[in-house]
Structures are given as C-alpha cells and as structure tokens.
Chains A and B, each alone.
Chain A
Amino acid sequence: MTKFTLQLRVKQSEGALVRILGVTRRRRFDLLHLTADTSEDGHFLDVQMTVQADRAENTLVRQIEKLEDVSQVEVVEPDDSASERRAARSTAR
C-alpha cells in the first residue's frame, strides 16, 4: 500500500475538482484527505490531497497531469497547516 500527498494547481472551471476526484476513484486510489482553496487571483484552485492505493504513485500522477485544467502536480510532504487549521477549529468549538 502506498500513501502520498499531491499538491495541485487547477484552473477554476466547470467541474474541475470533480474531474480530479473522478480520476482518483476510477484509478482505484482511496482519498484520505482533501483541501481546496481559491488562489489569490481567483483564477485557480489550489488542491492538496492525500491518497492511498496498491498502485504506484505515478499511475495517478500521470493521469492527473493529463487533465486539461491541471497546470501543476507535485508530490509533497503533507502540509501541516491544514491539520493545524482543523485542530484550531475543534479547539474553538
């Protein structure tokens, strides 16, 4: 089982996020974590997702790269700020 985190930059367009999640599911990767934020200029979505699968990392990376609206794909270390934000929210409750 491999587990890894992808950082994506995606053009804001009809169904862009659904398309990425669809490819992820169809290629048999399980989604463990997802964040998506609009970029400062409003033209892009910055997506971070953590997935796991029995298949090699590149199987998914190469398929996502091909999507017309995806301009950047990187395998990254998970960004702690997201989990920190979650932690902050639960503290605030």
Chain B
Amino acid sequence: MKGAEFLVKALEHEGVELIFGYPGGAIMPVYDALLDSKIRHILVRHEQAAALAADGYARATGKVGVCMATSGPGATNLVTGIANAYMDSVPMVAITGQVATSLMGTDAFQEVDIFGITMPVVKHSFLAKTAAELPRIVHEAFRIARSGRPGPVLIDLPKDIANTVAEYEFHEDDTSEEIAEPSKESITRALALMRESRNPVVYAGGGIGMANALEEFRAFIETTRIPVVATLKGLGALPTTHEFALGMMGMHGTKTANHAVQICDLLICVGARFDDRATGRLNAFAPNAKVIHLDVDRAEISKLRRADVPVIGDLRHALKALTCKLANIEPWRRECSASKETHAWDYAAPGTEVYAPGFLKELSDRAGDDSIVACDVGQHQMWVAQHFHFNRPSQHLSSGGLGTMGYGLPAAIGAQLAFPNATVINVSGDGSIMMNLQELATLRRYDLPVKIVLFDNRALGMVRQWQELFHDKRYSEVDLSDNPDFCRVAESMGIPAFRVEDRADVSGAIDRLLAEPGPVLAHVLIHQEANVWPIVGPGRSNSEMMHQHEVAREVAR
C-alpha cells in the first residue's frame, strides 16, 4: 500500500465523508487513491473556496471540515480559508501536497513552505516524513482540530512519501480527551457574585455552540432569568426571538444590548473573547461590571479584560453548576425587556426602493427555523446579524474574526452538501460576491439548491459608509457602478436569476426564491447610501452609539 492510500484510509477511519479540493502535481497520488475510496470529493474552482467550504461544512455540522490542495499556489490559496477557521475556532484539517523530500529546499517547481507560511494561523501542523507515520498523523490532526478550543490543522505531504509503499499499521491509542471540569472554588465564587448582583448580563459567544452546550446554556438562562447579549457568533445560543435575548452587542449592536452591558454590575462572559468589534473602546467597556469569564481556553482569561472570577473548563459542566434561581434581578430583567420593546427595529423606511433590513426580516420569517444563512462580509452581513432570527448558532455562518469577503458562497456550498434538504441561503453583496464568483459553477456542477440574495448598492458599502461618517465623505475606491450584469453572469453559469428593484416586489421575490427547486440568484438593488444603523465609531465607547435620526439631524444643521 502507498502512503497516499494510508492517508485516505486514515481519513475514512476518522469518518470523513466529504473533501473539498482541487488537484495538481504534488497531490496527484492522493487523488489517485481517492478513486478507490467511498469519500466524496467536491471539486471547487479555486482552492480558497475549498477551505471556506470546509469551514462552512464544519460550522453547520460541528464535524471537522477537510480541504485539500496541491503544493505551491494551491497551498497558498488555502491560506485565507485556514486563517478564517483559525480566527473563528472552526475544526478543520487542511491537506497539502508538497514537492518530493529530495527537492524540498531547492526552490523546486511549485515548492512553497506552506508549513512555515501557515504557522501563525493553525492550531498545529505536521510535515509527513515517512508513510508509516501517516495514520498516526491523521488521527492526531483530527484530535487536535476538534479538542478543547477547535481550530485548523495542516498536514503537508511530500509526493515521494505519498508514493512510498509500506505496511499499513495502526493501533489507535485512546486519545479521547475529557475537558477538565471547572474548579469547585471558581464555581463557588461565581455563584456568590451572581447572588450579589442586581443587574447582571450574560455575554454569549460562539463557544456555546462549539461546546455543544445549547441545552445547558438555555437551562441556565431560563432558571437564572439573566438578560443575554450576543456576539456575532453567539447569536442563536438563545433563540434571538426569546424574551430574554437583547440582541447583538458591539459596533452594530442593538441599543438595548449595548446599554445593558454598559450599566450592568456583573458581566458573565460565556465562550467569548472581548473582541474589539464587540467591546468598542475597551477601557470604557462595561465600566461598572465585575466579570465572570467562562472559557475552555485559559489564554483568553484576562487577555483583554481582567476576569474577577475565571471559570476554566467544559462549558456544559460550568453552566450546569451555575444554574440557580436568583432573587434580586426581576426589576432589572423587566427594565431590559421594556427597553427592548421601546427600541424594537422599525421597518418602515421612506422611499420605494428595497429596504434590505425589511427584506431580510421577511425572508427570515418565511424561510423558517431549519434554514441556514451563510453571508459574506460588509453591510449585508450586519443586516443579517441584526434582522434574521436564529434558533441555533449553526444556522448562521458568518466570518466573524477574519471578516473574509467571499466567504458566503463557498460556506453555503459546504452547508448544503451537509444538509441537502435544508433551505440554504447565501446573502451577499456586489463587492463580496466577486471574490468567489467562480463557485457559481460549483453550485451548478453539484446542482446545489442554494438561494443567493445579492444586495447591490453599486459600491463597497461598508467602506463607503465609513468614508461618509468618519472621513468627511472623501470617497476613495468604493465605486462599483461598472459591476457586471449579475443576472447574466449567473445565467451563463446555468443558475436562474432575476432582478428585484422595487419594495412592492419583495414578497414575490421571496416566493420565487423559496419555490425554486435548484440554485437561484436574486439580484436585489438597494439605495447606494443605505447604511447600517446604529454604529459605534472606531475608538469610541459602546455608550456612544450613532443612530440614523441623530446623524440626519447633524447633517440638517
């Protein structure tokens, strides 16, 4: 048996069903071995999409996503997707072909030090030096990718190792790792702070979904009745329509969520990392709050904000241990609920053009709880976070940490392959879609019924918005008025498409999107100057939110 066959056999052993990839010279032995495997390979049209699709698959399923590319440019094209997975703690194994060991270090054709290039953005990486060690490497790679705080792992495989004939030998050692329970002392101290608090807030992050702790989290909230604010990745940990859910916090968070955090006396951070987009100016963030920080990653504790009580370990254990009735907080909870009602979104916008938030609200209401939304990055991404309802975090695939334009379409492909019968929607923008447009061909090839909603404002909207608000309207390189005709582009790749220009046509457009049995693209024109509101300016505290009506007043003066 050859090394490449070892690799494939080991992947089968790990339960891999799908690999996203693109062949080339150095990885050819593995592609040869795949012909005799039951693993399904999905051929994308650019390696970046392979990594991003594996990421989308992993987020939607909770399983490890696998992507593969050849050496050199194939490998470097994976890097953005690997970094994306790293920043959002997504379990992934990336396999790259490498030139033969005798050629390594000689500047050979398509040689690149992918092991070195990816070092800052992987949880760990392996360079295979013998065929015999491949089964162990694969097993280790999967264990590392999914254990504790998940992340991407790289396996670099030189071509001669892939071609080496050896005896397949693998005795799996029992490496299933139990995550440590949090210390009793930390639980006691956390409970004491909770019982003292009059205005506590739970700050819910992506860790809840990744720890499979939805059930424990919801029981914790239902019992303690503490109001919840969410990060981008924490949306859906508590259903976003739940009475206690105050919405997203941070730069484009709700007024209620940010205000609650700014005045709370206790902040319980659950699987989140005090990212700058969530906290605003850090030294003005939750200024009156003591902090309880629950996380599996000890390195996140007091990294940015000092934790009064760290609770390190398995979230499920921690949340169970902290579930108790609290006597003092009912007036506060009612105050938060009232604020949420006062500041509810208003979908009555002036004009007759399509209003993106209203479009997304209606789409969300009609697509139902089983739908999955993958978005790209920019204004539309924030509108999705604000106006879509999420029942679970795995329903919302969004590039939070890295902010990768071009994430949405490949991620939707990954999710649709994992759940062939689900309604998978890619919400994109006219900037982002062009970053991985070639994947329309992948949709067609595998006949994946992804619904694409392309909001088009003929501009790089989020950058345009910043230039308008924070750079004195000095617009620099944000004009996209020469966009192609997106409907014709889609149709040329075999994807039916239609245009929506008028608000009166939105319901009909959503009918058509949801009724179409195969892939479909709705090209939705929106006002060029539509902005995401509210917004916290760069370097500002979350107490200083800018709202649309206030900015309009400023301009009128």
From B123, which residue of chain A is reached at the shortest CB distance?
A68
Closest to A21 in B: B119
Cα–Cα distance between A80 and B303 once the two chains are bound (Å) = 31
* Structural contact, A14 and B126, CB atoms closer than 8 A: yes
Q: Please indicate the chain A residues that have their CB under 8 angstroms from the CB of B123 in the complex.
A: 68
Q: Does B127 contact A (CB under 8 A)?
A: yes
Closest residue of chain B to A64, judged by CB? B299
Q: Does B120 contact A (CB under 8 A)?
A: yes
Among A18, A19, A67: residue with most chain B CB under 10 A:
A19
Q: Is B127 a contact of A14 with CB atoms below 8 Å?
A: yes
A19 touches B119 (CB 8 A): yes
Q: What is the CA–CA distance of A63 and B297 in the complex, to the nearest angstrom?
A: 10
B105 at the interface (CB under 8 A from A): no
Among residues of A, the one whose C-beta sits closest to the C-beta of B302 is A58
Min CB–CB distance A64 → chain B (angstroms) = 9
Taking A14-B115, A15-B115 as contacts, is the C-beta distance between A26 and B302 under 8 angstroms? no
- Report how many A-B pairs have Cβ atoms within 8 Å: 34
Q: Is B539 in the interface zone, CB < 8 Å from A? A: no
Bound: A40/B355 CA distance, A: 69
Q: Which of B116, B129, B302 contacts A18 (CB 8 A)?
A: B116
**Bound state CA distance, A65 and B298, in angstroms?**
9
Q: A14-B115, A15-B116, A18-B116 are in contact. Are A65 and B124 (CB under 8 A)?
A: no
Say yes or no: is B144 at the interface (Cβ < 8 Å to chain A): yes
- A66/B297 in contact, CB under 8 A: yes
Measured CA separation A22–B129 after assembly (Å): 23
Query: Is B395 close to A, CB under 8 A?
Result: no
Q: Is residue B394 contacting chain A, with contact meaning CB distance below 8 A?
A: no
Task: Tally B residues with Cβ within 8 Å of A.
Answer: 17
A18-B119 CB under 8 A given contacts A58-B302, A68-B124, A68-B144: yes
Interface of A is mostly: helix
Which residue of B125, B297, B301, B303 is within 8 Å of A15 (Cβ)? B125
CB neighbors of A among B481-535 (8 A): none
Q: Which of A14-59 contact B (CB under 8 A)?
A: 14-15, 18-19, 22, 26, 56, 58-59
Interface pair A63/B299, CB less than 8 Å apart? yes
Residue in A14, A19, A22, A66 whose CB lies within 8 Å of B299: A66
Looking across the interface, which residue of chain B has its beta carbon closest to that of A68? B124
Specify which chain B residues have a CB less than 8 angstroms from the CB of A59 in the assembled complex. 299, 303
A85 is an interface residue with CB less than 8 A from chain B: no
Q: Does A93 contact B (CB under 8 A)?
A: no
The CA-CA distance from A26 to B303 in the complex, in Å, is 14
Measured in the bound complex, the distance between the Cα atoms of B156 and A14 in whole Å is 11
The docked-state distance in angstroms from the alpha carbon of A18 to that of B115 is 11
Considering only residues 48-93 of chain A, those with a C-beta below 8 Å from chain B are 56, 58-59, 62-63, 65-68
With A and B bound together, what is the CA distance between A65 and B299 in angstroms? 9
- Say whether B119 contacts A15, CB under 8 Å: yes
A14 / chain B contacts, CB cutoff of 8 Å:
115, 125-127, 129
Shortest C-beta distance, B133 to chain A (Å), equals 11
Give complex CA distance A51, B88 in Å.
29
Residues of A within 8 A of B303 (CB): 59, 62
Instruction: Annotate B360-393 by CB proximity to A: 1 below 8 A, 0 otherwise.
Output: 0000000000000000000000000000000000
Distance between Cα atoms of A56 and B305 in the complex (Å): 12
- How far does the alpha carbon of A15 sit from the alpha carbon of B123 in the complex, in Å? 13
Q: Which residues of B contact A58 (CB under 8 A)?
A: 302
Set of chain B residues within 8 Å of A22, measured between Cβ atoms: 119-120
Query: For residue A67, which residues in chain B have a CB less than 8 angstroms away from its CB?
Result: 124
Docked pose: A79 CA to B123 CA in angstroms: 31
Tell me, in angstroms, the Cα distance from A56 to B125 when the chains sit together: 28
A76 and B299 alpha carbons, distance in the complex (Å): 20
Query: Which chain B residues border A66 with CB–CB below 8 Å?
Result: 297-299
| A69: nearest chain-B partner, CB-CB | B124
In the complex, which residue of chain B has the Cβ closest to the Cβ of A59? Answer: B303
* Shortest beta-carbon distance from B510 to chain A in Å: 45
- A68–B153 Cα gap in the complex (Å)? 11
Whether A62 touches B120, Cβ cut-off 8 Å, given contacts A14-B126, A15-B125, A68-B144, is no
Report the bound CA distance from A26 to B299 in whole Å. 14
A13 and chain B: residue at smallest CB distance? B126
Chain B minimum-CB-distance residue to A63 = B299
Q: List 19 A-B contacts (CB under 8 A).
A: A14-B125, A14-B126, A14-B129, A15-B116, A15-B125, A18-B116, A19-B119, A22-B119, A26-B120, A56-B302, A59-B299, A62-B299, A62-B303, A65-B298, A65-B299, A66-B297, A66-B298, A68-B123, A68-B144
| Residues of A participating in the B interface, judged by any CB pair closer than 8 Å | 14-15, 18-19, 22, 26, 56, 58-59, 62-63, 65-68
Give 14 A-B pairs besides A14-B127, A22-B119 with Cβ atoms closer than 8 angstroms.
A14-B126, A15-B116, A15-B119, A19-B119, A26-B120, A59-B299, A62-B298, A62-B299, A62-B301, A63-B299, A65-B299, A66-B297, A66-B298, A67-B124
